[in-house]
Amino acid sequence: SSCTTTTQPSYLFTLFTGLPPPSSENNSAAMAMLLPHPVSSLAPRVPRYPLPSRLNGRRRKSVSVVQASWQELAGVLIFSAIPFTAVKAVANSSLGEKLRRQLSETKRDAVEKSLRFKALAQKAREASFWYGRGRPCWLGPIPYKYPSYLTGELPGDYGFDVAGLGKDPVALQKYFNFEILHARWAMLASIGVIVPELLEELGFVHFVEPVWWKVGYAKLQVSGSVQLINLSK
């Protein structure tokens, strides 16, 4: 029986560990290695969720941010709806009806004046020397086959379109509008040139040097690729 008692721990140790059996004096130590260790009730337990308070804090913070966002959105919607509500209330009132009648009458008068103005402008063009087929052209008396799409209806049309840019009626109207814009900018530029000179001549303002032409001059005083970019614009 003593042999059975001494060999049983060795057999279990070899079975579970795959190592050679220890000596007889180490049987108790081997059995201690195989048996599970009891956990003391006084040992600190590791919580399953280590930081629940922090997570709850983040959750509460996100909820508060969402609530604040909804409050701001509600305020924006309310304040943006006030003008529309006021306009609708005025439109449905007697004052709104009166304003609509006045606007309709004003629009009708404006349309009639516009039609009369267009008719007078057409008569003036027909009577003018600078409009129509008989207008002076850019080559004067030299015979030349001028483009058929340039009929002299537009101001400044002297039949000059050697590149054929005005063949498309839409493009021709676009270039006409661009020319008007360029003329307006030129008039503004002339005012910017004349006014500073007059102010200095009259003694109201003294400029150290002429400043109106320094703007274009400064654009040319750059180097390298920057100059090329500015010139390409």
Annotated binding site, which residues?
179, 182, 184, 228
- 158, 137 in Cβ contact below 8 A? yes
- Give the C-alpha separation, 71 to 156, whole Å: 61
Burial class (CB in 10 A: 0-12, 13-18, 19+), 13: buried
Q: Indicate the annotated binding residues for chlorophyll b.
A: 184
* Alpha-carbon distances of 208 from 8, 79, 201, 218, rounded to whole Å: 114, 52, 13, 16
Q: Indicate the annotated binding residues for chlorophyll a.
A: 179, 182, 228
Q: Please enumerate in sequence order all residues whose Cβ is within 8 A of that of 16, keeping only pairs 6 or more positions apart, or say none.
A: 34
- Give the C-alpha separation, 208 to 217, whole Å: 16
Position 137: which residue type? C
**Token pair of 168 as six digits:** 């498309």
Of the candidates 158, 180, 156, 176, the one whose C-alpha atom is nearest the C-alpha of residue 166 is 176
Count CB neighbours of 196 within 10 A. Answer: 15
